[in-house]
Amino acid sequence: AQTVTQSQPEMSVQEAETVTLSCTYDTSESNYYLFWYKQPPSRQMILVIRQEAYKQQNATENRFSVNFQKAAKSFSLKISDSQLGDTAMYFCAFIPGGTSYGKLTFGQGTILTVHP
């Protein structure tokens, strides 16, 4: 069984600053995918960034980047130049590879507030 742990229930940051959200996971799988999802008050779960476990290079999407440490089973999200629209609940999620569908395992989430 897989577990995903987000140890920061809430975080806050000033607009334009950088913030890092932590995530650790536990699995015996060798092939898997990791995700960060954002859920603003509008409720829709939005994919922020995806990392494939077999890729050494850390994924980057504009202001969002990850620090993927496979040996340490760590997958943190860095948000640069924070914007008010980044205020949301952020979920780290895991899914094993090798199948065409599967169960996303979510962490407990981190509520991020960006202050003006």
Partner 1 sequence: DTEVTQTPKHLVMGMTNKKSLKCEQHMGHRAMYWYKQKAKKPPELMFVYSYEKLSINESVPSRFSPECPNSSLLNLHLHALQPEDSALYLCASSQDVEGYTFGSGTRLTVV
92 Cβ neighbours under 8 A, 6+ residues apart: 4, 6, 21, 23, 25, 34, 35, 36, 75, 77, 106, 107
Q: Which stretch binds partner 1 (CB under 8 A): 18-26, 60-68, 75-83, 89-97?
A: 89-97
- 64 binds partner 1 per the rule CB under 8 A: no
CA–CA distance, 57 with 60 (Å, rounded to integer): 9
- The residue (of 56 and 99) whose beta carbon lies closer to partner 1 is 99
Contact pattern for partner 1 over residues 97 through 116, marking x by CB under 8 A: x-xxxxxx-xxxx-x-----
- The residue (of 1 and 116) whose beta carbon lies closer to partner 1 is 1
Contacts (CB under 8 A) with partner 1, residues 31-60: 33, 35, 37, 42-47, 50, 52
- 91 binds partner 1 per the rule CB under 8 A: yes
For residues 21 and 76, is the Cβ–Cβ distance under 8 A? yes
Containing H/E element for 105?
strand 105-106
